[in-house]
């Protein structure tokens, strides 16, 4: 008789004092600290970045699917009960951000805008291109965040595994009216997650390290851009310590910004958010949550979890898993976390682009 894959962990949850576990037959067996709970919030094909309007409408981008969706939980029961398709046939519309009544969509070939979208969900207008971007396939999917003054920050991944780039491998800052852009930060291989610090407004971002330096090299990164014009090392230096075997040389890491936290090699950190809610215990407030998408070319897979980086005055003091279970054993994958988004009640949405699902992480004593 075949034993279901989830059964050993289920028994561990019951008898071996594992952290809180939520078990889904045939799917992820989630593990998390006591009193946390995770449940399905919505099914969304290839769900990637998440944004929200002040009225509560959720917006979800995709990478392969080419669509952008809107969701609502109208009865406030913790499960979305309405879904709309707002745009189709876009080129990797991964990033979404909401600002002053409009949804901004970051696709490979440009930033698109849907004005007054909250009142037009049933009959959305065609997206208009707000600012053109150079389209390319390799790391051509974008993340986007908008500062309170309306400036738009978009991540422009390097079009390669490792190479010298000019204005790519960077974060661009686009003016609020879309008329111009400048390079805000350089030396960034492929960021697919950015967030503003709620205390001082500075930009934090994840970065995916290069491939083919081995299973354990180089570390992926959590970075902090405190001002415009900083360089984070790519392609010459990785994670502030490791010269590139092709583009680096002894001393290649001098003068570049090191990461705040070196993450696991190949864990593929994507979306991140500062937790500012009141649902989770006090120790989580002000800390960073990161969706680790998971490795694709490592002998034993790593990542496939939501991690927690604990900060103290801008310095990382701890890095560990908050929610795991998308990876079973060494190589069996049940899904891939792509973004994390805090809801107004303090719970956390987690997108999974592989399973096509949003999960809601909540806490209750």
Quick one: which of 222, 219, 223, 243 has its CA closest to 231? Answer: 223
C-alpha pair distances (Å), 297 with each of 243, 268, 272, 329: 21, 11, 23, 16
pLDDT value of position 365: 78
Edge to edge, what strands does the sheet with 194-196 contain? 194-196, 203-207, 221-225, 261-262
Instruction: Please tell me the predicted confidence (pLDDT) of residue 330.
Output: 87
307-316 b/e (C-beta count within 10 Å ≥ 16 → b) = bbbbbeeeeb
Measure the CA–CA gap between 336 and 331, rounded to whole angstroms.
Answer: 13
Instruction: Say which residues have a Cβ less than 8 Å from residue 170's Cβ, sequence separation at least 6.
Output: 156, 183, 184, 185, 186, 187, 188
Q: What is the pLDDT along the chain (365 residues), one digit of tens a residue?
A: 444 434 433 444 433 333 455 545 467 899 999 999 999 999 999 999 999 999 999 999 999 999 999 999 999 999 999 999 999 999 999 999 999 999 999 999 999 999 999 999 999 999 999 999 999 999 999 999 999 999 999 999 999 999 998 899 999 999 999 999 999 999 999 999 999 999 999 999 999 999 999 999 999 999 999 999 999 999 999 999 999 999 998 899 999 999 999 999 999 999 999 999 999 999 999 999 999 999 998 999 999 999 999 999 999 999 999 999 999 998 999 999 999 999 999 999 999 999 999 999 999 97
Selecting from 3.40.50.720, 3.40.50.300, 2.120.10.30, 1.10.3210.10, what CATH number does the domain 33-363 have? 2.120.10.30
How high is the pLDDT of residue 24?
A: 53
pLDDT of residue 5: 39
CB atoms within 10 A of CB 280: 22
CA 341 centroid distance within chain: 9
| CA–CA distance, 89 with 66 (Å, rounded to integer) | 5
Q: How do the domains of the chain map onto residue ranges? A: 33-363
Q: What is the pLDDT of residue 21?
A: 52
pLDDT on residue 260: 98
């Amino acid at each position: 008789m075949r034993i279901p894959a989830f059964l050993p962990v289920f028994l561990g949850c019951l008898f071996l004092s594992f952290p809180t576990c939520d078990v889904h037959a045939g799917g992820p067996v989630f593990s998390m600290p006591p009193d946390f709970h995770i449940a399905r919030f919505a099914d969304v094909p290839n769900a990637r970045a998440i944004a929200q309007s002040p009225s509560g409408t959720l917006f979800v981008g995709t990478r392969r699917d080419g669509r952008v969706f809107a969701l609502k939980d109208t009865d406030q029961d913790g499960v979305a009960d309405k879904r709309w398709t707002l745009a189709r046939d876009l080129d990797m519309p991964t990033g979404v951000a909401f600002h002053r009544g409009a949804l901004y969509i970051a696709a490979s070939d440009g930033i698109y805008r849907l004005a007054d979208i909250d009142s037009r969900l049933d009959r959305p207008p065609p997206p208009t291109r707000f600012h053109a971007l150079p389209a390319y396939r390799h790391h051509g999917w974008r993340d986007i965040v908008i500062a309170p003054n309306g400036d738009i920050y978009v991540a422009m991944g390097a079009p390669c595994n490792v190479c010298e780039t000019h204005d790519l491998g960077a974060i661009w800052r686009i003016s609020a009216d879309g008329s111009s852009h400048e390079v805000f930060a350089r030396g960034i291989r492929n960021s697919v997650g950015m967030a503003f610090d709620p205390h001082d407004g500075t930009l934090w971002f994840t970065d995916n390290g290069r491939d083919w330096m081995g299973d354990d090299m180089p570390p992926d990164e959590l970075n902090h851009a405190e001002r415009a014009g900083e360089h984070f090392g790519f392609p010459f230096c990785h994670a502030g310590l490791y010269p590139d075997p092709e583009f680096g040389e002894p001393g290649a890491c001098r003068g570049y910004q090191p990461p705040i936290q070196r993450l696991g090699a190949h864990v593929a950190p994507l979306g991140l958010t500062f937790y500012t809610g009141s649902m989770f215990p006090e120790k989580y407030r002000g800390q960073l949550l990161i969706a680790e998408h998971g490795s694709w070319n490592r002998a034993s897979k790593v990542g496939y979890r939501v991690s927690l980086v604990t900060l103290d005055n801008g310095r990382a003091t701890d890095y560990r898993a908050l929610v795991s279970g998308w990876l079973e054993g060494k190589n069996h994958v049940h899904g891939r976390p792509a973004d994390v988004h805090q809801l107004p009640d303090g719970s956390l949405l987690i997108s999974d682009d592989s399973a096509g699902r949003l999960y809601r992480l909540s806490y209750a004593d």
